[in-house]
Amino acid sequence: MAYRDLREFLEVLEAEKQLIRIKDEVMPEPDLSAIGRSAPNMESAPAVLVEKINGYKNSVVLNVHGSWQNHALMLNLPKDTPVKDQFFKLKELWDQYPVKPVWTDKKDAPVKEVVVEADINLFDVLSLFRINDFDAGFYLSKALIVTRNPNNPDSYDEQNCGMYRIQVKGKDKVAIQPMPFHDIAVHLKNAEEKNERLPVAICLGNDPVLSFMASTPIAYVQSEYDFAGALKGEPIELTKAETSSLDIPARSEIVLEGYIEPRIREIEGPFGEFPGSYSGSRLQPIIKITKITHRKNPIFENLYIGMPWTEVDYLVALNTSIPLYEQLKRDFPEVEAVNAMYTHGIGAIVSTKSRFGGYGKAVAMRLLSTPHGMSYTKIVIIVDEFVDPFDLKQVMWALTTRVRPDKDVFKIPYAPGMPLDPSSEPAGMHTKLVIDATTPVAPDAGRDCELLGMPADVKKWSEILRDLVKEGGNK
């Protein structure tokens, strides 16, 4: 690949005219969030590196994943590669899983250039700012968070690298939101059953492929690091954390190490979330930060989240689509492509051939029973294989010419849903909507229902069998 970490990827973006540098000093608020909102609205939607922030020592980069051009460059493709071609290239790379990482000695890991173990103060290292006006405080919205299963702490495959929102609660304390269907929630539950602390590493400023995988819904025992290696075509460099056995990216900009306190909760939120609205406040777990390691002059990378489309929508577009495609394709080989780019898969469009009557509805129900579809997807549209699900003009043609509302639209009430979707009521429950916009296919069998007759000599053999039972079963 053309890059090994965030810094080298920024060089790639700059060479491709997909990076803007702001050298004049800006205010952390409202300037940084305004920059994060503005960049995705530009035609090329470049990344923005802000070199000087009033009151802070370190630079900030925004919108690293925030365009299809940047997304293509992340996959080592020409920046003008169409979205559908990126989908199938990603599928090709996906099938190279696993590519195992390599471990770098701590003394050689760039993220260990500076070690802070006394007087921890997040404000000395992170150029913090509110992402949206009514957020409860400063948030880390683009962190790769590493945990292990305390019931099987030596299992590399059960190590989770996920992206969860983090609220700064103090100079050495943060809150985290682990949803019940997240892998980290399994680890935390196991730790709290033992009343044990759960070690955590919060990794900031990562190789863009690592951020991509941290926000991808893969299986519990699949490794984000192994998938990232497959996407890059070479192993990811890892090293060991300072305070635990966790494996962390050797080339991250900043790593915050600590632990989740068992059975302790504090109010977290509200926060401007990916559906384009504020979430409420909830009691959430607390992480105590005990050590910080970082590169010299670290770059703080954060994610602006707002009314779609912003960087988060590009980040979780195809990495939501591909796992759903893989799971559907395994059971329904007729499936051609899955577009789950809308609001992290709350809306999904599937193109498929139809093997028999009602096939599109069966595909939709299978999608809604996948781990991500069950907890996120609310609206499913099924279209024919010749309809490009990434082309909304074609999808609208299918909706307007193939759908009979009395036969092709149905609802599933009281189903699981995404609590952060403001339309879920109560939070975490949805009525699912399925629209089958495929061309009708006739059933394999007709409606004939002639009754079957009795075979000859049934009466005779019934008497013989009864006699055999009386005689002990021999004749």
Widest Cα–Cα separation across the chain = 104
Give me the catalytic one of 224, 273, 301, 311.
273
Known catalytic membership, residue 273: yes
Token pair in block for residue 50: 């802000």
Contact in structure between 436 and 403 (CB atoms under 8 Å) = yes
Strand residue runs (E) in 347-463:
347-352, 379-384, 409-416, 429-437
**Which value, in Å, is the radius of gyration of the alpha carbons in the chain?**
26
Q: Write out the DSSP string of 255-295.
A: EEEEEEEEEEEEEE---EETTTEE---EEEEEEEEEEEEE-
Integer angstrom CA distances of residue 97 from 187, 211, 226, 231: 24, 17, 6, 8
Sign of CA dihedral 367, 88, 275, 130: positive
Measured CA angle at 406 (ends 402, 411), to 5 deg: 100
Cα distance between residue 108 and residue 65, in whole Å: 28
Cα distance between residue 176 and residue 367, in whole Å: 29
Cα distance between residue 222 and residue 400, in whole Å: 40
- Kindly give the residue spans of alpha helices, DSSP state H, lying in 368-457: 371-375, 392-402, 405-408
Token pair in block for residue 326: 């893989």
Amino acid at position 273, single letter: E
Integer angstrom CA distances of residue 65 from 10, 204, 207, 346: 11, 14, 11, 20
Kindly list the catalytic residues.
273
